[in-house]
Structure 1
Amino acid sequence: MSLEILRSERLAPIEHGFFTRRGGASSGIFQGLNCGTGSSDLADVVRINRDRVAQAMGVETLNGVHQIHSADVVTLKDPITGDKPKADALVTNVPGQALSILTADCQPVLFADPDAQVIGAAHAGWRGAVSGVLESTVEAMEALGAKRSAIRAVIGPSISQDAYEVGPELRDEFLALDSANDQFFAKGQGDRFMFDLPGYGVARLRASGVGVAEWSGHCTYSDPERFFSYRRSTHAKEADYGRLIAVIKL
C-alpha cells in the first residue's frame, strides 16, 4: 500500500504533508506508518517508516524535537543530530530543511509564509496550546522575517469534540484563564464535558493575527483505518499506540 498524504491548498506552494497510517511497515497495534521513535514498536521498522516519509518529502533528514507539551520553539539553522532538543515546535528559513511533528490525537500544526520563505511546525495538545506554543511559533517565524498577517496555519488530523470527553476540572482550568473558553465545551454524560481541541487551536491562531487558520476536519479517534489515536488505544486497553507524522519543507 502506498503512502497517503493529506495536503492543504492553504499551505501551497510550500511542500508539506499530514501522513496517515497507510503505507507503513509496522504490524500489530502499530499496523501501518508508525513514525514514533518513542513507541515500543521495533526500532528498525520505525526507521523504515520514517525513511519512506523522508523519501516522499525528498529529504534525507526529518528534523524533529523531543516533545514535552511546552511552548518552547527551536529555530533551526542546521539539521538536528544526536539527542533531540526538548521543545514542541520548530521554525526555519533554511532551504531544503524539513520540520516534523508527531501526534496521536494532539494537534499537528503546519505554518508557512511562502513570500518570506519561513515555515514552522508545532505539536499542540491542550497543555501546549494553553501554554502558548502556537503564538510562540508565530513569534519565532516573525524573528526570521515572516509577516504575521501572511502566515498560514493549518491544523491536521486531531481528536474532534465528539470524541474528546474530559472532566469538569479541565473545563474549570480553562474558564479560570478566560470565561470565553466555555464555548469550547459541550455538556457530556454526567459531570463530563466534550472539549473542542481543534476549535480552541483555530481560535488561538486567529487571535494571534495570522492570515489563515483552519483545521483539516479529520478526527483521529473516529477513523482507525487512517489514524492512530492515543485515546482510542487507551479505551481498547492496548499496550501502546502509533504516532502520526506531519512534515513541512522549504
Structure 2
Amino acid sequence: MTTRQGGVSTAPYDTMNLHTGGADAPEALVENRARFAAAIGGRPLFLNQMHGSRVVRVGSADAERSARGERLEADAAVSTEPGVACAIQVADCLPVLFAAHDGGAVGAAHAGWRGLAGGVLEATLEAVCEAAGCAPAAVDAWIGAGIGPGHFEVGADVLAAFGADIAGSPAASRFASRGGGKWLADLPELARDRLITAGVANVSGGAWCTYADASRFFSYRRDGVTGRMAAAVWLDRERG
C-alpha cells in the first residue's frame, strides 16, 4: 500500500496522489502512476469504484485498457495472471487484499461501510476461492489503512446496515455511542469479523488510521478535497 509520500503532486494532492477520478494535474498523475507501476513491478489495474459489491475477474487485456484510462465498474477485482496488479484507491475506506496460499489467485476489495455491509468481502473471497480452487481457510486477507474507530462518526443508518440496531447483534460491539444519534464505528474490526465468519483463518492489518495520520495518509473525511492512496496485490510468477 502506498502512502501520500513519494510523488510529484502539489497541495491539496501532495504528493503521491493516485486518484484516477480527481482534479489533480494530469502530468502529475501520469508520473505518480508510472512510479507506482515501477515500484510494484507489475501492471496496476484500477477500477471505477461504486461503493457496491461487484467483483470482476481480470487479466492482461483489462490491465492494458486500465493503462489507457478505461475503467471497469466494480469494487473488487480478482486475477490469476502474473503481473496483473489488482489495485484499490482509498482515502478512508478500507482496502482489503486476498491471496490464496498456493498462489492460484489474488484479489483486492474496496470496503467502505456500504460495500462492507453489502457483502463485498464475502463476494471477493468467493471469487478468489473459485479462481484458485480452494476453500476460504486457504486464503489470507490483509486490511490496509482506513479511517479508525476514534474518528469514523456515523448515524443510525449505518448501524441498521450492519444489523447493529438489533438487540444481541454481534456487530453492536463495534459501535460506540456518542449521544445525539451518533456513533463511532470500528470499520477495521467490522471487516475482520466478516472475514473470520466467512472462513478466513489468517486476517492481518487494520491498525493504521488515515484520519489520525495526516503526514502519511490522505483522508477525505479530514480534508475534503484530497488525493488517494492505492493498495495492490499481484502474482509475481506462474503457479507451480
TM-score past 0.5 threshold? yes
Q: What's the CA shift string for 1:151-199, capped at 9, x where partnerless? A: 0001100000101111233223433686322111001153311011111
- Deviation per CA, 1:5-24: give whole Å up to 9, x if none: xxxxxxxxxxxxx1111111
Tell me the equivalent position of 2:50: 68
1:247 alignment partner in structure 2: 232
**Number of matched pairs:** 227
Structure 1 runs, 4 residues or longer, greater than 3 Å off: none
1:79-98 matches, cutoff 5 A: 79-80=61-62, 81=65, 83-98=70-85
Matching residue of 2:29: 46
Letter in 2 for 1:21: R
> TM-score, structure 2 length as denominator?
0.90
Structure 2 unpaired stretches of 5+: 236-240
Q: What fraction of aligned residue pairs are identical, expressed as a percent?
A: 39
Correspondence 1:158 to 2:141: no
Given the alignment, which residue of 167, 171, 174 partners 1:181?
171
Equivalent of residue 38 in structure 2, options 44, 52, 55: 55
Contact 1:151 1:211 in 2 (8 A): yes
* C-alpha distance after superposition, 1:97-137 (max 9, x if no partner): 11100001000011111314310001000000111110000
Shift in CA distance, 174/148, structure 1 to aligned 2, threshold 3 Å = closer
Residue 113 to residue 164, structure 1, CA distance change in 2 (3 Å): same
Cα offsets for 1:184-221 (capped at 9, x unmatched): 10011533110111110000111100121133300000
* Stretch deviating more after TM superposition (159-168 or 110-119): 110-119
Distance 1:110 1:176 in 2: 25
> Which of residues 103, 113, 116 is equivalent to 1:126?
113
Give the root-mean-square deviation of aligned CA atoms. 1.5
Instruction: Give the alignment partner of residue 106 of structure 1, picking from 80, 86, 93.
Output: 93
Using the TM superposition, name which of 44-53 and 177-186 deviates more.
177-186
**Corresponding residue number in structure 2 for 1:35:** 18
**Gapped regions of structure 1 (runs ≥ 5):** 1-17, 235-239
Tell me the secondary structure at the aligned position of residue 219 of structure 1: coil
Amino acid aligned to 1:84: R
